[in-house]
Amino acid sequence: MRRASASVGRIVLHALVVLAALGVLLPLYVMIVTSLKSMDEIRSGALFALPQAPSLAAWKDAWSHACTGLACDGLHAGFANSLWIAVPSTLVAVALGALNGYVLALWRPRGSNLLFGLLMIGAFIPVQVMMYPLVRALGAVGLVGSLPGIVVVHVIFSMPLMTLLFRNYYAALPVELFNAARIDGAGFWTTWTLVLLPMSAPMLAVAAIMQVTGVWNDYLLGLVFAGHELAPMTVQLNNLINTTTGTRNYGVDMAATLLTSLVPLLVYFASGRWFVRGITAGALRG
């Protein structure tokens, strides 16, 4: 009886997994086949049909010719912008988050619990609430519409999560390790760089993955703070799809959307193993 009910459970479980996978994969399938079809074929309305003459024309268009507002040279400028924004935003945010976590978990200066509490409250306030004051503040120092401006904004909004990740990671380490380094004569920076950072590889990977994908997928902050010249790929994608001149080419829209989501997808595929390992590192250590 137990075996029978267990196998029924497994069947239900597998059915649910397959359903969930279909929910994700069907739209993706439609996007991919549509991006490979000609407009005539798309208009015929056979949404799930395979393309009769697969062509990468729509992809080329999306990358280098499609109109994003006034300019018509595709998404490639946005791709470069997104890279320019994501790389420094990730490096600075992860470094600062690790440093914050180190101080809050191990040095615990007076008031550090209060500070951490405030930071966590910050994580629950919607970004939109802080938008206007932040625009005014950055405007006052002339940083709106510049690379440092958008990087600073991304770093600020990433601090609660980055700090939380590293604080918990370091708090789970035996405090004796930290004490041993102090006895050995290592100071604030030496302990961090020589003892703790080398042990943080899994968490550094997790934090970097979260930050890269977070920054890459951001639309609102990029729209408000990056300015026209530096508009990230997501903003350009929106412009491309909302452009109303000429005929709407659904194939190009699909290709552009896929191109924009390519980086986070690749990051996940390449580092999923690291991601899982980092998330469970605290529990499985030892």
- Residues found near other proteins in the complex (CB under 8 A): 174, 176-177, 179-187, 190, 194-195, 198-199
Is residue 89 within 8 Å of 211, Cβ to Cβ? yes
Q: Which C-beta is closer to other proteins: that of 111 or that of 185?
A: 185
Beta bridge pairs of residue 68: 71
Q: Which C-beta is closer to other proteins: that of 60 or that of 277?
A: 277
Query: b or e along 21-55 (b: 16 or more beta carbons within 10 Å of the residue's beta carbon)?
Result: eeeeeeeeeebebbbbbbeebbeeeeeeeebeeee
Length of the chain: 286
Q: Which C-beta is closer to other proteins: that of 198 or that of 246?
A: 198
Closest separation in Å from C-beta 201 to other proteins: 9
What are the two backbone dihedrals, phi and then psi, of residue 139, each rounded to the nearest 5 degrees?
-60, -40
Calpha distance 54→232 (Å, rounded): 29
Q: Which C-beta is closer to other proteins: that of 106 or that of 254?
A: 106
Closest separation in Å from C-beta 279 to other proteins: 19
What is each CA distance from 106 to 25, 109, 196, in whole angstroms?
45, 9, 11
Q: Which C-beta is closer to other proteins: that of 14 or that of 108?
A: 108
What is each CA distance from 138 to 100, 149, 220, 234, in whole angstroms?
23, 7, 16, 22
Residue 68 three-state SS? strand
Closest separation in Å from C-beta 183 to other proteins: 5
Q: Which C-beta is closer to other proteins: that of 73 or that of 184?
A: 184
